[in-house]
Amino acid sequence: MIISKGEVVEGDKFRILKSLEAEYESQVWTESNYNWVIFAYTLLVALALLMLLLFLRKYRLDIYKNNTKVTFIFFNILAVILLTTLVVNYDTSYLYLVPICILPLILKAFFDARLGLFAHVITVLLLGFIVPNSFEYMFLQIIAGIVTILTISELYKRANLFISVGQITLIYIVAYFAFYVIHEGSIDNLQWETFALFVLCGLATLFVLPLIYMYEKLFGL
């Protein structure tokens, strides 16, 4: 047995399962099957991004008509997805080190909270294709994104940013703890290292302030 039912899929066990999956696919899938699967994934990704464009067209027409602003939004979404993909390919143990909540913070700073949350949810849905234990990951990130939008008001005030990051980190810790207890039924083998990753993720989120200044210069927003 490689992994028990209901056990969290991460680390070495995730790599073993991915290796078995790749071996199985190499034996069963033909080139035609592979092309169809890639086509299906492309449809789903395109559908998710289309929803964002339709949202802009219906509710943020001024942004939709501005190519620089649309490019800025999609650039940040793709940057978050690329960073997460690199971390997953390197070591899934560091997955929660990626500061996903930087995205809604940036978009809220330049546009508004509603667009920031919508783009964050679309991004998390896309990341669900590549991360292990996708439901848990998506739940954590969406809840953290909601907290991000609800808590911070004036991002340029550093005190507000620190308070918001502290609340985001706390939500991560509480939600992960709840999921772990649900999976294991106890806290005997609780992985404290993951909590440290959440704290480091919160510290990395503080980088959003210099990032905003840099974007103002690059995109002229």
Length of the chain in terms of residues written: 221
Average pLDDT of the segment spanning 70-95: 91
Task: Please tell me the predicted confidence (pLDDT) of residue 186.
Answer: 74
For residues 131 and 23, the model is more confident at 131
| CB-side neighbour CA atoms (13 Å) of 212 | 19
Contact at 8 Å (CB) between 127 and 170?
no
Mean pLDDT of the chain: 84
Contact at 8 Å (CB) between 176 and 194?
yes
Question: Is residue 125 scored above 90 in pLDDT?
Answer: yes
Give residue 153's pLDDT band: very low, low, confident or very high (50, 70, 90): low
Task: Please tell me the predicted confidence (pLDDT) of residue 215.
Answer: 86
Contact at 8 Å (CB) between 206 and 101?
no
Find the range with the poorest average confidence among 3-7, 98-102, 171-175: 3-7
| Assigned token pair, 158 | 């550093």
Burial of 192: CB neighbours in 10 Å, binned 0-12, 13-18, 19+: exposed
How far is CA 155 from each of CA 64, 165, 171, 201, rounded to the nearest angstrom?
24, 11, 19, 18
Q: What is the pLDDT of residues 58-77, one digit of tens each?
A: 999 999 999 999 999 999 99
The verdict on pTM exceeding 0.85 is: no
Contact at 8 Å (CB) between 197 and 97?
yes
